[in-house]
Chain A
Amino acid sequence: DTAVSQTPKYLVTQMGNDKSIKCEQNLGHDTMYWYKQDSKKFLKIMFSYNNKELIINETVPNRFSPKSPDKAHLNLHINSLELGDSAVYFCASSQDYSTDTQYFGPGTRLTVL
């Protein structure tokens, strides 16, 4: 049973395309996050949602739009993909936004050609 799952695991696409990454957690957590890890392994938070409500919205281009249909899902939609969007995107969840431990998904490696 995978606690935090992401699909797809790999995504290769052309510049200018629109793509989505899906995330689901079966831990019953209220809070979910999206992180971006660049080629130097630097990990940076992008968004967090608590019970479908946006809590954290870092300085991210508005081409990135998170969507939380319910508290178990947080999807990331990216419009007009650029070369610099190539990275590994991780979803994570925690019991709530003040809880300390975050549980990470396996990551989605996005390559923009």
Chain B
Amino acid sequence: SQQGEEDPQALSIQEGENATMNCSYKTSINNLQWYRQNSGRGLVHLILIRSNEREKHSGRLRVTLDTSKKSSSLLITASRAADTASYFCATDSSNTGKLIFGQGTTLQVKP
């Protein structure tokens, strides 16, 4: 069964603006990861946040995790046209490498 649900499904912003994507999940997790997928390409790992962490930064990316609400958010600051892609959250609950993906948010950044 699908674990993650992402919101919004699509987001269109101007270059320079911030983009926020949300992910909700259903069961307890070991960690939550965010991946990016450019059109016609494979997924690229962006950032991982463990269940005992609340916030993590990587460059222009900021991820938060609220385990009480079973939700996470990905913030991309000062967006660029090159950030145009689909973004997926994925949860790991089993320590077997079994990632359960959300349905993704399609981000369009207009130059």
Which residues of A line the B interface, CB within 8 A?
4, 31, 33, 40-45, 48, 50, 55-56, 90, 92, 94, 96-107
Q: Would you call B97 and A43 a contact (CB within 8 A)?
A: no
> Is B79 engaged at the interface, CB distance under 8 Å to the other chain?
no
A104 touches B42 (CB 8 A): yes
Query: Chain A contacts of B88 at CB under 8 A?
Result: 43
How many of chain B's residues have a CB under 8 angstroms from any CB in A?
A: 24
Question: Can you give 8 contacting A-B residue pairs, CB < 8 Å?
Answer: A42-B2, A48-B97, A55-B96, A90-B43, A92-B43, A97-B96, A101-B45, A104-B44
Count A-B pairs with CB separation below 8 Å: 63
Interface SS, B side: strand
Assess whether A45 is in contact with B99, with CB atoms less than 8 Å apart: yes
- Nearest 4 pairs of A and B residues by beta carbon: A104-B42, A97-B97, A43-B101, A104-B43
Contact B95 A106, beta carbon cutoff 8 Å? no
Which residues from chain A contact B43 at a C-beta distance below 8 Å?
A: 43, 90, 92, 102, 104
B78: shortest Cβ distance to chain A, in Å? 25
